[in-house]
C-alpha cells in the first residue's frame, strides 16, 4: 500500500487485514494506550470541505500513535486555484510524511497521489469515501464477527458513501441492496465495479426503488443525508423526493430483529433518520463515528508504521 484512495484498489484479504489491525489497535488503546509507532511522523490534512469527524479522528489517531497532524484550511491552500495540485503535492512531499485530503473532485485526490512521493489518503471525494467504509465495516464486524453472508441495506441517495459501502461489502462477502429514488442512482462505473467484485466473492448486489423491499432480512440498515455538501442548490427538490426513504421505526421493524442502523453523520434528524431510531437500541451511529479514529489508525500504521 502506497496510498489509500479507494476500497476497490485492494484485495479482500488486504481489506480484512486492515480491519483486523484496526480492531487490534483499538483494543490495545483501551488496555494500555497505543505503541508510539508513528513517533516523529507528521500527517498534513488538506480540507476543501468542513469536517468534524474526519479532522478530529485523523488528528487523534496520529496523536495516539505518537505522531503529529497539521490542519490546512481551504483558505490556506486553494487546491488547484492559488497553486497547481502538482506543485502542492511536490512541495508537501518535502515537508511531511503523508497527506490526507478531503476534496470536492475525486480527480484532485488522484492528482495529489500522482505527484506526491509520500502516501496520500482520500478523506472524502465526490466519488467515494473509503475511510468511512473501513470504519463502517469495523463496526459491523464488531457486532456480527464477520461481514460474510450478511445482508446490508442502504436506503437513500446513491452517493459517495454508498459507493464505498458497496465496494467493501462486495470485497468482504456481504450482500448489498440499495433502494434509492430514480435519478439518484449509484455512479455507473462504481456499480459495475461492485458487481464484478461481488461476482468474484459470491455475494449479491441488488438495485431497488422500494426501501421496504431492501430491508427485508437485513442485518444492517444504512442511510445518509439527502443533500450532500456541494448539492445545496438541489435541496428543495431532494426534500420532495426522499421522504419515502426515511429510516424510521416502521422500516426498522421490517428488517432482521437483530438489525443495526448506521449513518455516517452529520444526520439531519427528522429527514433521513428519525430521533427514535438514531437514539434507539438498534443504532450504532456513535460507535461507528468513534471507529473512524481506529480504522484510520490502521491505515496510518500500514502506510507509515510498517505494520
pTM score of the predicted model:
0.96
Indicate the pLDDT class of residue 71, thresholds 50, 70 and 90.
very high
Q: Please report, in angstroms and rounded to a whole number, the separation of the first and last CA atoms in the chain.
A: 11
Q: Which residues are catalytic?
A: 102, 129, 132, 224, 264, 292
CB 288 within 8 A of CB 134: no
Take residue 124 and report the three cell numbers written for it: 472524502
Interatomic CA distance for residues 19 and 241, integer angstroms: 36
Burial class of residue 104 (count of CB atoms within 10 Å of its CB; 0-12, 13-18, 19+) = middle
Other C-beta atoms within 10 Å of 40: how many? Answer: 9
* Three-class DSSP category at 260: strand
Per-residue cell: 166:
458497496
Among 13-27, 65-79, 185-199, the range scoring the smallest mean pLDDT is 65-79
Note the pLDDT of residue 137. Answer: 98
Q: Are strands 260-263 and 220-223 parallel, antiparallel or unpaired?
A: parallel
Domains defined along the chain, listed by start: 7-129+292-304 (3.40.50.1370), 132-288 (3.40.50.1370)
Question: For the CA atoms of 135, 168, 149, 294, what is the dihedral angle to 10 degrees?
Answer: -20
Q: 35 falls in which pLDDT band (50, 70, 90)?
A: very high
For residue range 184-241, list pLDDT tens digits in order: 999 999 999 999 999 999 999 999 999 999 999 999 999 999 887 666 777 888 999 9
The rounded distance, in Å, linking the Cα atoms of 145 and 130 is: 21
> How many helices (H) and strands (E) would you count in the chain?
13, 9
Rounded-to-integer distance, Cα 34 and Cα 114, Å: 32
What does the pLDDT average to over 128-152?
Answer: 98
Q: Would the pLDDT of 78 be above 80?
A: no
Amino acid at each position: 500500500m502506497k496510498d489509500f484512495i479507494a476500497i476497490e484498489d485492494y484485495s479482500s484479504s488486504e481489506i480484512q487485514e486492515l480491519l483486523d489491525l484496526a480492531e487490534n489497535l483499538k483494543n490495545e488503546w483501551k488496555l494500555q494506550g497505543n505503541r508510539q509507532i508513528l513517533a516523529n511522523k507528521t500527517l498534513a490534512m488538506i480540507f476543501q470541505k468542513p469536517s468534524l469527524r474526519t479532522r478530529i479522528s485523523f488528528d487523534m489517531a496520529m496523536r495516539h500513535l505518537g505522531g503529529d497532524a497539521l490542519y490546512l484550511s481551504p483558505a490556506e491552500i486553494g487546491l488547484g486555484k492559488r497553486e497547481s495540485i502538482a506543485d502542492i503535492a511536490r512541495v508537501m512531499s518535502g515537508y511531511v510524511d503523508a497527506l490526507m485530503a478531503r476534496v470536492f473532485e475525486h480527480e484532485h485526490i488522484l492528482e495529489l497521489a500522482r505527484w506526491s512521493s509520500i502516501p496520500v489518503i482520500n478523506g472524502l471525494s465526490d466519488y467515494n469515501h473509503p475511510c468511512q467504509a473501513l470504519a463502517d465495516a469495523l463496526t459491523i464486524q464488531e457486532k456480527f464477527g464477520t461481514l460474510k453472508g450478511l445482508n446490508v441495506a442502504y436506503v437513500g441517495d446513491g452517493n459517495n458513501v454508498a459507493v464505498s459501502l458497496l465496494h467493501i461489502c462486495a470485497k468482504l462477502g456481504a450482500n448489498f441492496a440499495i433502494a434509492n429514488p430514480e435519478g439518484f442512482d449509484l455512479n455507473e462505473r462504481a456499480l459495475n465495479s461492485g458487481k464484478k467484485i461481488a461476482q468474484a466473492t459470491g455475494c449479491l448486489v441488488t438495485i431497488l426503488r422500494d426501501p421496504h423491499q431492501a430491508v427485508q432480512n437485513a442485518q444492517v440498515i444504512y442511510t445518509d443525508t439527502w443533500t450532500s455538501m456541494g448539492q445545496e442548490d438541489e435541496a428543495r427538490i431532494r426534500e420532495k423526493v426522499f421522504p419515502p426513504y426515511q429510516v424510521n421505526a416502521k422500516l426498522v421493524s421490517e428488517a432482521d430483529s437483530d438489525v443495526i442502523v448506521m449513518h455516517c453523520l452529520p444526520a439531519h434528524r427528522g429527514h433521513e433518520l428519525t430521533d427514535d431510531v438514531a437514539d434507539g437500541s438498534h443504532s450504532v451511529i456513535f460507535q461507528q463515528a468513534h471507529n473512524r479514529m481506529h480504522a484510520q489508525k490502521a491505515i496510518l500504521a500500514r502506510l507509515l508504521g510498517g505494520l
